[in-house]
Amino acid sequence: MGPAQGRPGFYGGNRAMNGTPDIMIEITGLTKAFGTYTAIDALSLKIAKGEFFALLGASGSGKTTLLRLLGGFEFPNAGRIVIDGKDVTDLRPNQRPTNTVFQSYALFPHLTLAENVGYGLLNLRLPKAELAARVDEALSRVRLSGFGARFPHMVSGGQRQRVALARALICKPKVLLLDEPLGALDKRLREEMHLELREIQRAAGITFVLVTHDQEEAMSLADRIAIMARGRLLQIDTPRALYEAPNSREVAEFISNVNLLDGTCLGVDGTEARIAVAGIGEVRVSTDAGAIAPGAKVTLGIRPEKLRFVTAPDPGVNALTGSLRVVTYAGDRSHVVVEVPGLTRPLLITTPNRARLLSNADAVGATVIVTWDSAAAAILNS
């Protein structure tokens, strides 16, 4: 297992089962190169049955290539893909127990919505009446009853999206692959579809693999998220663990904003480590016993909302004094930039808009005291 593999065990997975969930997808040593460019680099991954799994990464991270390898649209240079106990590495898309919702939806423009949805059943050679009944049922499941006779260009983007979903689900796949399925929708529709997707996934009990670059989408939908970069997995974890306990600087910075402080461990007192941070002195961080040794170089990651403004810090609590540079008002909260002497990068602080102190633009330039709990900072490996 390379360094790409995250912490062991499944946090989400099949909620219907106790103990170790069954594996639906097992990828081992998968490598895919396009010419000299390595899109997927010796990647290994297990996805549980019934899991909603998200591949999250910037464009060019290899997430779409990985999904295409799973669907059979690309073939790897090395490695195996096993789906539900069967090696599918060399199988074509029509021989795999997977179906795909394409980014462009890929609805057939010359077929009606009903013909689109029924396309996956053509090989079954069903009697006309039964085919029509199953198509009607699939359309009603995505709330499009009565739309069957229309053509794709006659319906809205959100409706097209739901047709694509119905078309893929009618084949009862073991795994549904979704390639940025909500990318083309506006924000409100996207949020509606989030609920709908979760509902459909729960009801159908199908393993979903979602590719997205939208971390909010991944967090609100997925049981587990794999963060991808340069064809590798940086961390595989629950949304909560990725946000609160990222295992590296890169993951911490990819998921939302984070303040990074570089330092050296001075010593550990029980569950608290004392870290000397260059330029600002000693801070205290909660840690598991034995997780960190004196002398170790560490990076602390502190999320902006975990920093607070106080008028006077309690003794023994981490605190910094700085000057307020920028306040960006965002309704329920404000994003504040505070420059601290000794730190190369200013601190980012998100504060709920209860405090009248910061609702005032006159505050810019004021001296402020910033504090955080010792449990607020995550210790990053690299």
Q: Which stretches of the chain bind another protein, using CB under 8 A?
A: 71-73, 92-94, 98-100, 102-104, 106, 108-110, 119-120, 122-123, 151, 153-154, 167-168, 171
Nearer CB in complex with another protein: 82/91: 91
Q: Is 38 exposed, middle or buried (0-12, 13-18, 19+ CB in 10 A)?
A: middle
- The continuous run of DSSP H or E covering 241 comes out as helix 239-244
Nearer CB in complex with another protein: 4/88: 88
Q: Are strands 207-212 and 52-57 parallel, antiparallel or unpaired?
A: parallel
Q: Which two tokens stand for residue 299?
A: 């990076």
Nearer CB in complex with another protein: 124/276: 124
Beta carbon of residue 206, minimum distance to another protein (angstroms, whole number): 15
Beta carbon of residue 70, minimum distance to another protein (angstroms, whole number): 11
Beta carbon of residue 237, minimum distance to another protein (angstroms, whole number): 30
Beta carbon of residue 196, minimum distance to another protein (angstroms, whole number): 21
Nearer CB in complex with another protein: 14/64: 64
Beta carbon of residue 93, minimum distance to another protein (angstroms, whole number): 4
Nearer CB in complex with another protein: 72/263: 72
**If we measure between CA atoms, which residue out of 380, 342, 371, 374 comes closest to residue 268?**
374
Beta carbon of residue 174, minimum distance to another protein (angstroms, whole number): 13
Beta carbon of residue 109, minimum distance to another protein (angstroms, whole number): 4
Nearer CB in complex with another protein: 64/287: 64
| Radius of gyration from C-alpha coordinates of the chain | 25
Nearer CB in complex with another protein: 162/167: 167
Beta carbon of residue 189, minimum distance to another protein (angstroms, whole number): 21
> What sign results for the dihedral spanned by CA atoms 161, 159, 129, 137?
positive
Distance CA 169, CA 29 (A): 29
- List Cα–Cα distances, 290 to 138, 264, 286, 323, in angstroms: 55, 15, 12, 37
Is the CB of residue 248 less than 8 Å from the CB of residue 19?
no
Is the CB of residue 75 less than 8 Å from the CB of residue 90?
yes
Look at residue 78 and give its three-state secondary structure.
Answer: strand
Sheet (strand 308-310) strand order: 308-310, 367-372, 318-330, 333-339, 347-352
Nearer CB in complex with another protein: 149/296: 149
Return the ∠ at Cα 89 (arms to 198 and 221), rounded to 5°. 15
Look at residue 154 and give its three-state secondary structure.
Answer: helix
